[in-house]
Structure 1
Amino acid sequence: MQAGRPLSEQVRRCERRWFLETEELARKGDVASMLLLAEMLHREYGCAVGGMERHVRRAHRLVREYLRRKYGLQSLNEAATVGQFGGVDADDLQHALQLYEETRAIGVPSPRPLTTETWPSRQL
């Protein structure tokens, strides 16, 4: 920690660094980082404050991509059947679906069905 800087400024800098590190991992395809980054964007944790609508849209896209990559979901209708198979972390899936619904409820337009598009790295 640098001397002479207020603690609140240091904390913001650490949050920002953590956000950027998580964003980089998500861009590289780390699915856990995708969900964490979506949560950070949704809560405006570590990212620039003031772009809430843009952050929520981005978080929504990340959660959709996370569900597609980790669970192979092409639509949310498939989510109920995923939990019936072994090897699925039900809490993790539930958290992702809850975050999906929260971001959609804030004003994100209904998305097109999940597809196998390439990862839109510039939209992260």
Structure 2
Amino acid sequence: MIPLNLQILLIVIILGLLYFLVDNIRKYKLELKYALLWLIMVIVTLVLAIYPKLLYYISNNIFIETPVNALYLISFIIVFIILYNFTVLISKLTNQTKRLSQEIGLLKNEIKQRDEKNQNINESP
């Protein structure tokens, strides 16, 4: 079992992080759809800090010898999900940027052709 003062310290740190996330969402520095996974991670960590016996229960049920290893596994899975989510987002944004630059190039070419056509019409007697 973890000592009470360490448990209180963990809870205070997690609540501070939760406040920081919610404050950034409220100030529109962070969009909710991107912060949702972070919020879930903070809430899961808060629950595990409040109820440390839950970690013992989880580690026993998935046949992990120590609760710390179960915590590392849970943390790894959550971070992996967050990284995957951001990788998908970056791929979408890259494709959108490529498509938008191609559209800009086409529009610039179309404007150039119209300007040349208008210039030829104005020059002819």
TM-score by length of 1: 0.31
Whose helix proportion is higher, 1 or 2?
2
- Identify the structure with bigger relative contact order (alpha carbons < 8 Å, sequence gap 6+): 1
TM-score by length of 2: 0.31
- Structure showing greater radius of gyration is 2
